[in-house]
Structures are given as C-alpha cells and as structure tokens.
C-alpha cells in the first residue's frame, strides 16, 4: 500500500504540464511508433531533446539499430493518433492511412502532428525503471499547426 506521501507525489507528478508525443523510427524498411508522455528540450547548443519510452516496446531495437528517432507532438484533441500508437501490439501497421514524410534521418514523421523533431541518438539511458531515456540531437524540425501551442 502506498504511503500518504507517495500518494501526494503521484498526484503532483500527474499535474505536471505535459503532452502526448509520438516517437517513430525506421530501420531497413521496418518502422515503429510509440506514444510517450514525457519529452523536453534539454540543450540549445547543440540542440538536444529528451524523451522517455516504456521498456519492452517494439520501437526499442529499431531506434538502437538506426540510431535515430522522430519526436512528434500530438494535438490533444487527436484521439485517433493516440489510439493507433498506444498499443504495444505489432500486428497492424499503425502508420497506414496517415499522411507522412521523412526528414533527414528517414524516421517517419506524421504530418497531422503539431510539430516534429528528427533526431540522432546521442545518449540512451537504460534506467532501472519501467522507462528508458533517449537524448537526441535535432537534425531537422517541422511545424505543422503553428497556432495550437504558439508563443
């Protein structure tokens, strides 16, 4: 049973601002995508982003072998994107019928996302937890819906 302090910590963590992201990667014609709820910029020089991914997802070996990933911010009202990629099942191609492009690395970028970063893996941390952390150097970026989160 969780202590009262752990309960407060869990609630506080759930209140932290965030979004739903899609991590994608491609290697030798095989592509995969996974939703992520924790991503952030972590350096300006060089431009780096960090994203955590649940362990055991089929995207892990593809990122490992390609050394690249794309990070797409999903519109909060876009339930289809979240549903298509939230499952760890590898049976159906979640990319089917989605408008896509590739940037520098060849990782698929979903055009109906708000924005996307194409990244080269510079660090991978296999934490002693249920997630692992990827740090990527930004090779390219696209903004598809500038008004949604614009500053």
Angle at 97 between CA 93 and CA 101, to 5 degrees: 90
Give dist(CA 135, CA 128) in Å, integer: 17
Q: pLDDT tens for the chain, 151 residues: list them.
A: 555 567 787 777 777 777 889 999 999 999 999 999 889 999 999 999 999 988 888 899 999 999 999 999 999 888 888 777 776 555 567 788 889 999 999 999 999 999 999 999 999 999 888 899 999 999 999 999 876 665 5
Strand 68-74 versus strand 115-125 pairing type: antiparallel
Q: For the whole prediction, is pTM greater than 0.75?
A: yes
**CA gyration radius for the chain?**
16
Domains in the chain with CATH codes: 17-149 (2.30.110.10)
Give, rounded to a whole angstrom, the gap between the first and last alpha carbons of the chain: 42
Alpha carbons 126 and 20: distance in angstroms, whole number: 21
Output phi, psi for 124, to 5 deg.
-135, 125
């Amino acid at each position: 049973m969780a202590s009262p302090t752990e309960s407060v910590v869990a609630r506080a963590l759930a209140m932290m601002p965030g979004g739903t992201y899609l991590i994608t990667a491609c290697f030798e014609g095989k592509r995969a995508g996974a939703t992520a709820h924790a991503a952030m910029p972590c350096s300006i020089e060089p431009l780096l982003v960090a994203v955590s991914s649940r362990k055991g997802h089929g995207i892990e070996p593809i990122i490992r072998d390609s050394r690249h990933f794309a990070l797409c911010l999903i519109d909060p009202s876009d339930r289809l994107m979240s549903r298509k990629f939230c499952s760890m099942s590898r049976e159906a191609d979640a990319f089917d019928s989605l408008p896509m492009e590739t940037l520098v690395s060849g990782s698929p970028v979903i055009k109906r996302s708000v924005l996307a970063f194409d990244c080269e893996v510079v660090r991978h941390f296999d934490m002693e937890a249920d997630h692992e952390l990827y740090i990527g150097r930004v090779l390219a970026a696209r903004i598809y819906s500038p008004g949604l989160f614009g500053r």
